[in-house]
């Protein structure tokens, strides 16, 4: 079984681009990925593309071949949909295909156009990732769902809004030098605490923004990289996926995310490492409480101990294990279908040394944690760099 290398990566700026189409955004991201990889488009054997709400935001389904055309490919293409984990799943399936010899070269990525719908329209579109019959029709939105999870966490383990504010401050600081980030401005704990409440105990700065953007990565087999003399020092050495019941009321836990726990365990086993070996992480912080749940699910912390990690300086850029050096979804942005691949893109740049925050990476192994809905779907990928 061959190894899988990240030959090249590309992003658009994450932000407000309501006038641009999804295909336009993905064309830009894929162009950058091919330029970075030095791989001929004619060698690409398959495209895996992640997108969640294209039918609602652009009245466009069947996006696989559309995005292949935008990327300048004639290869077969498949769209993957798993809510906010859409392109995380696309990456996982691409890794499996390269390992199994189905392809030596694959393009994987995702895109989402959201701002053209406006805040109310985007909120309604995102809500279809929840249980329509038992959650959405009762008025559930994702800020409300994560607020319930935060309240359950506080009740079971303790914690405060100040602890969550520290996460927001950290991730905004990390995004300052990231040219692709939506928010490149610092905030303070006071800013976060004084912001309007969106769903108690979550305030405005506890939530990620509405984002347009695209991401892409060229994955190749070890053999292809060697034969073509590619400079591709980063490999995806582990992959895992987990699932849980859709509706919160059907779950055993509100203050834990078993889907992510299972995905992490599978990814670690696949890579032959343990959580203690991981030096840096990109996690799915759609809300600040989600970062807490993620670092615990990844087994960096026992349940109840992750809440104060940012305040203690353990997950900051100067900490022993920095989390979300890209700025995370919180500040980098969250174009839903693009997010999973964008985490792999950012981790690749961080590990190989060409990210503005690469100097904060204390080791050679990173993980990317991508979640869908209220973590009913999760992927975790382990990336390692050859020094």
pLDDT 10s digits, 135-163? 999 999 999 999 999 999 999 999 999 99
214-270 pLDDT, tens per residue? 999 999 999 999 999 999 999 999 999 999 999 999 999 999 999 999 999 999 999
Structurally, the chain folds into a number of domains equal to: 1
What is the per-residue pLDDT for 82? 98
Residue 272 has pLDDT above 90, yes or no: yes
What is the per-residue pLDDT for 129? 94
- As a whole number of angstroms, the distance between CA 98 and CA 93 comes to 9
Where helices occur in the chain by DSSP H, the ranges are: 22-37, 54-57, 63-70, 86-99, 118-126, 142-157, 161-175, 189-194, 222-227, 258-271, 288-297, 328-332, 339-352
Q: And the tokens for 204? A: 């405005």
Among residues of the chain, what percentage have pLDDT more than 90? Answer: 99
Residue 130 covered by a domain = no
56-73 pLDDT, tens per residue? 999 999 999 999 999 999
How remote is the C-alpha of 296 from its chain's centroid?
17
List the domain range (segments joined by +) for residue 282: 4-117+209-385
Paired residues of 214 in beta bridges: 111
Judge if the upstream peptide bond of residue 201 is cis by omega within 30 degrees of 0.
yes
Element (H, E) at 114: none
Q: And the tokens for 348? A: 């690749």
Residue 279 covered by a domain = yes
The CA radius of gyration of the chain, in Å to the nearest whole number, is: 19
- As a whole number of angstroms, the distance between CA 364 and CA 350 comes to 10
Name the 3-class secondary structure at 110.
strand
- Please name which of 95, 176, 117 lies closest in space to residue 340, comparing C-alpha atoms: 95
Tell me if 206 sits within 8 A of 198, measured CB to CB: yes
Cα–Cα separations (whole angstroms), residue 49 to 72, 92, 169, 220, 282: 14, 11, 32, 16, 20
Mean pLDDT taken over the chain: 97
Residue 165 covered by a domain = no
With bands split at pLDDT 50, 70 and 90, how would you rate the model's confidence at 299?
very high
With bands split at pLDDT 50, 70 and 90, how would you rate the model's confidence at 2?
confident
Cα–Cα separations (whole angstroms), residue 147 to 140, 179, 204: 11, 31, 12
Residue 88 covered by a domain = yes
Residue 143 covered by a domain = no
What is the per-residue pLDDT for 142? 95
The mean-pLDDT minimum among 172-176, 201-205, 383-387 falls in: 383-387
Tell me if 273 sits within 8 A of 44, measured CB to CB: no
Residue 334 covered by a domain = yes
Residue 133 covered by a domain = no
93 burial (CB, 10 Å; 0-12 / 13-18 / 19+) is buried
Residue 162 covered by a domain = no
286 is annotated as an active-site residue: no
What is the per-residue pLDDT for 122? 95
Cα–Cα separations (whole angstroms), residue 190 to 150, 198, 383: 20, 16, 36
Domain containing residue 269: CATH number: 3.40.47.10
Looking at residue 152, what DSSP letter applies?
Answer: H
Residue 339 has pLDDT above 80, yes or no: yes
What is the per-residue pLDDT for 332? 98
Tokens 């174009």 belong to residue: 335
Catalytic residue among 13, 284, 334, 381: 334
Residue 387 has pLDDT above 80, yes or no: no
Tell me if 47 sits within 8 A of 18, measured CB to CB: no
Residue 1 has pLDDT above 90, yes or no: no
Catalytic residue among 13, 17, 84, 355: 84
Cα–Cα separations (whole angstroms), residue 271 to 9, 21, 278, 297, 336: 22, 37, 11, 17, 27
372-381 pLDDT, tens per residue? 999 999 999 9
84 is annotated as an active-site residue: yes
């Amino acid at each position: 079984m061959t190894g899988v290398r990240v030959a090249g990566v590309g992003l658009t700026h994450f932000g407000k681009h309501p006038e641009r189409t999804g295909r336009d955004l993905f064309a830009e991201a894929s162009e950058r990925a091919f330029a970075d990889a030095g791989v001929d488009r004619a060698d690409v054997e398959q495209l895996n593309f992640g997108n969640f709400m294209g039918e609602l935001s652009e009245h466009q389904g069947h996006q696989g071949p559309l995005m292949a055309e935008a990327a300048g490919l004639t290869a077969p293409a498949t769209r993957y949909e798993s809510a906010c984990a859409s392109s995380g799943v696309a990456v996982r399936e691409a890794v499996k295909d390269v390992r199994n010899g189905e392809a030596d070269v694959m393009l994987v990525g995702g895109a989402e156009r959201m701002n053209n719908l406006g805040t109310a329209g985007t909120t309604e579109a995102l809500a279809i990732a929840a249980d329509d019959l038992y959650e959405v029709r009762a008025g559930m939105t994702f800020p409300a769902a994560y607020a319930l999870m935060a309240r359950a966490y506080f009740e079971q383990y303790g914690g405060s809004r100040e602890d969550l504010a520290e996460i927001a401050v950290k991730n905004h600081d990390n995004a300052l030098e990231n040219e692709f980030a939506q928010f490149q401005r610092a905030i303070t704990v006071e800013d976060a605490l004084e912001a309007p409440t969106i769903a108690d105990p979550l305030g405005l700065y506890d939530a990620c923004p509405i984002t347009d953007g695209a991401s892409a990565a060229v994955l190749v087999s070890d053999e292809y990289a060697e034969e073509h003399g590619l400079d591709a020092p980063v490999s995806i050495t582990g992959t895992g996926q987990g699932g849980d019941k859709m509706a919160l009321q059907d779950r055993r836990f509100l203050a834990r995310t078993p889907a992510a726990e299972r995905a992490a365990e599978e990814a670690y086993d696949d890579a032959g490492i343990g959580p203690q070996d991981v030096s840096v992480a990109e996690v799915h912080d759609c809300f600040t409480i989600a970062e807490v749940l993620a670092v615990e699910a990844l087994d960096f912390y026992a349940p109840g101990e992750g809440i104060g990690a940012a305040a203690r300086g353990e997950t900051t850029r100067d900490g022993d294990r920095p989390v979300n050096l890209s700025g995370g979804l919180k500040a980098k942005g969250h174009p839903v279908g693009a997010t999973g691949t964008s985490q792999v893109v950012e981790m690749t740049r961080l590990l190989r040394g060409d990210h503005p925050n690469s100097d904060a990476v204390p080791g050679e192994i990173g993980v990317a944690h991508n979640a869908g809905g209220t973590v009913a779907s999760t992927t975790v990928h382990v990336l390692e760099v050859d020094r």
